[in-house]
Structure 1
């Protein structure tokens, strides 16, 4: 059985456009650790076959590649006030719902049978995203992920250095589906690499408007 996978290629000199390409890998159904390694190996091999200059990295919290785990939505960490949370949590906490409430506002402490417990009230309709004082409309979710990734990499420069030293320029995302997802972490990492190659990472990292404009070319 073949499954479709999406990879994102960094393309400097083209308005930092990120090219999405389709690859396929063999699905093993209920995977063992060895099967998962084979799946990743096959996907990487197919990407390299498309272009010998590709240095692909599979991004997932359960990938057998340590670099891929560190750069996954659970591996990347970002400061939220004085607390460090993972990128998945940061994306959730950035959502502003009707009534100008954030995700964490819907969790309240209540007394149940004399015991303090947390209760989650019903979420309302999301109206925009907000992080670090910057607002993103719902259609700019990918730009928000770009910004969160950049913030995390700036806070953890060892990951940014590793990204450059290893020369990764293609990031695969086996769980991404353009019909179901409005953002991809692999897409953001490809954009970061494109900016690094153009020596514009710092400039764009410190200017959210430029970062959003970069996505306008996609």
Structure 2
């Protein structure tokens, strides 16, 4: 068994995304067919819990829209031209003793992720991209900003595919393990849809400053709500 999350767009939830996790039987192995078995198990468990339909956001998705929304395929506009999302994320890290290592923008994503400087430069303190510094809190804000920027130019196509005739209740990424990672493309996609449904998308994408202000306010509201309920966890 394994526990995996479903990310639900929710305009009424602080942070705009509700996370619901389900225990599913886990098919081990790296073959695509095994991954798709796990996707189907997760979606079936979620449907039994009242969340359907769902869209898998990864290269393992059986839906064209899900494959196109995989961060593996996405690129971000920068002063260096279009660069892979992974390169933008890794090359923008600022550490105690170095960074950002913007030369990573121009290498391949696998090399960018494995560059030894990312492990040898001390504690991560911020992200810097296009002259703007992103703090580490809220935790997923910089990755979300990159992801939203990558898909924002295609918002009309996306509105049709994922919020039109088929209105997805949530999004999954079967490769994402919440015990090992923080950022998730399915979560970022759910955020995009929630902002779109709240008619806030154009506003928050007008600048990094407005995006961060909006997300920070949402995070603070969440902390206050949880604290008032006596369940504040760090």
Cα pair 1:136 1:144 within 8 Å, conserved: yes
Unaligned runs of 5+ in 1: 108-119
Asked if residue 214 in structure 1 is aligned to residue 211 in structure 2, the reply is no
**Alpha carbons of structure 1 residues 160 and 216: separation in structure 2 relative to 1, 3 Å:** farther
Larger mean Cα displacement after TM superposition, 13-22 or 43-52: 13-22
Asked if residue 204 in structure 1 is aligned to residue 204 in structure 2, the reply is yes
Q: CA deviation at 1:43?
A: 1.7
Give TM-score scaled by structure 2 length: 0.74
Cα pair 2:162 2:168 within 8 Å, conserved: yes
2:137 aligned counterpart, secondary structure: helix
Cα pair 2:79 2:130 within 8 Å, conserved: no
Count of residue pairs brought into register by the alignment? 205
Cα pair 1:40 1:58 within 8 Å, conserved: yes
**Whole-Å Cα distance in 2 between the matches of residues 71 and 204 of structure 1?**
20
Q: CA deviation at 1:70?
A: 1.5
Q: Alpha-carbon deviations, 1:160-207, whole Å to 9, x = none?
A: 333322322311133334343232222222222112112111112222
Partner of 2:153: 155
Aligned with 1:64 (options 43, 46, 62): 62
Q: Which structure features the higher share of helix residues?
A: 2
**Alpha carbons of structure 1 residues 121 and 199: separation in structure 2 relative to 1, 3 Å:** closer
Aligned with 1:124 (options 121, 125, 129): 121
* Rg (Cα) greater in structure: 1
Partner of 2:43: 44
Partner of 1:79: 77
Kindly report the root-mean-square deviation, in angstroms, between the aligned alpha carbons of the 2 structures: 2.7
**Whole-Å Cα distance in 1 between the matches of residues 13 and 102 of structure 2?**
39
Unaligned runs of 5+ in 2: 106-114, 223-234
